[in-house]
Amino acid sequence: MLSSATAARTIAATTGRQIADGRLYLKAEHLQRTGSFKPRGPLIRLASLSEAERERGVITISAGNAAQGYAYAGRALGVPVTVVMPENAVRAKVEAVLGYGAAVLQRGSHPLEALDYMHQVAIERDLTFAHPYDDPDVIAGFGSIGLEIVDDVPDVDVVVVPIGGGGLISGIAAALGQIRPEVRVYGVEPAGADAMSRALDAGEPVPITPTSVADGLGAPQAGEWTIDLVRRYVEDVIVIDDATILGGLRFALERVKQVLEPAGAAALAATIYGRIPLREGDRVCCVLSGGNVATERLGEYLAAAAPLDIP
């Protein structure tokens, strides 16, 4: 399990006194190694490999944060990691993956195109596929966040989590469901990357073409494991537009002095814009999942943010 630095523990947002009755907390996963929560799952997944699998190495697919998570875990555990990333991946994320020592192969502009290529490479090179989110070991690693939230805020009532493929919310919700089943967990998706909402409606994964500014939530489809766990443990999945997500990013920068990527601001955005059903006196914890923002686009993001009137 990833050891938690003090900076990455849950912190109270004192600027949120007009929000959630002054009981808004932020789980600062953007301050973890690699700039997101992602190493938690890959560390568990790679630790479970057989000796032969460790020697051959693994291959995964990601637009950025999961790629960095596996690259970091591979370096920490001595496992060779190859990552397939789309050709339009954020350059800073590609460079970070390379910096952690993983091999990067870029292919296609659509995640499913890159996925087909990844499976081809896995067969050719005899590499073990390590899923970025739809894997019980990965989900269990992400579940450690739920345990930390309860440790830091024992009387938490609501936890709000962003959703891409669903691994993060599955782990957190399942963990809370076992130790604090009364806690209400809500998921947040971008309107342009609503794979989980579509999957819940259809009862199975539905391939999509993600179009949101929140590239970290742009999974091509929800997972089999994650759909089941979200259905069992999550109250509801809220869909918000990109302008609202960017409003959360701006609020975090201006009021909390924290730099988030759009994906990392989604849960906070849904909460401060009143999209999460809250009861009087609720203590609310929003998971800030990532801070790997493309700094050259930060001005653009701030300009496109939805207006928010909070004293």
Q: Which residues are catalytic?
A: 38, 289
Strand ranges in the chain using DSSP code E only, listed in sequence order:
10-12, 24-28, 58-61, 81-85, 103-106, 128-129, 158-162, 184-190, 236-240, 284-288
Dihedral sign (CA 272, 275, 278, 282): negative
First to last CA, the chain: 40
Q: Tokens at residue 175, please?
A: 């963990």
Q: Which residues contact 32 (CB under 8 A, 6 or more apart)?
A: 2, 4, 5, 8, 39, 40
Residue 303: C-alpha distances to residues 56, 84, 246 (Å): 47, 32, 9
Three-state secondary structure of 194-219? CHHHHHHHHCCCCCCCCCCCCHHHCC
Dihedral sign (CA 18, 21, 23, 28): negative
Residue 183: C-alpha distances to residues 138, 176, 177, 238, 279 (Å): 22, 7, 8, 17, 12
Q: Which residues contact 145 (CB under 8 A, 6 or more apart)?
A: 27, 29, 37, 40, 168, 171, 172, 175, 287
Strand ranges in 45-80 using DSSP code E only, listed in sequence order:
58-61
Q: Would you put residue 34 in left (φ > 0), alpha (ψ -120 to 50) or beta? A: left
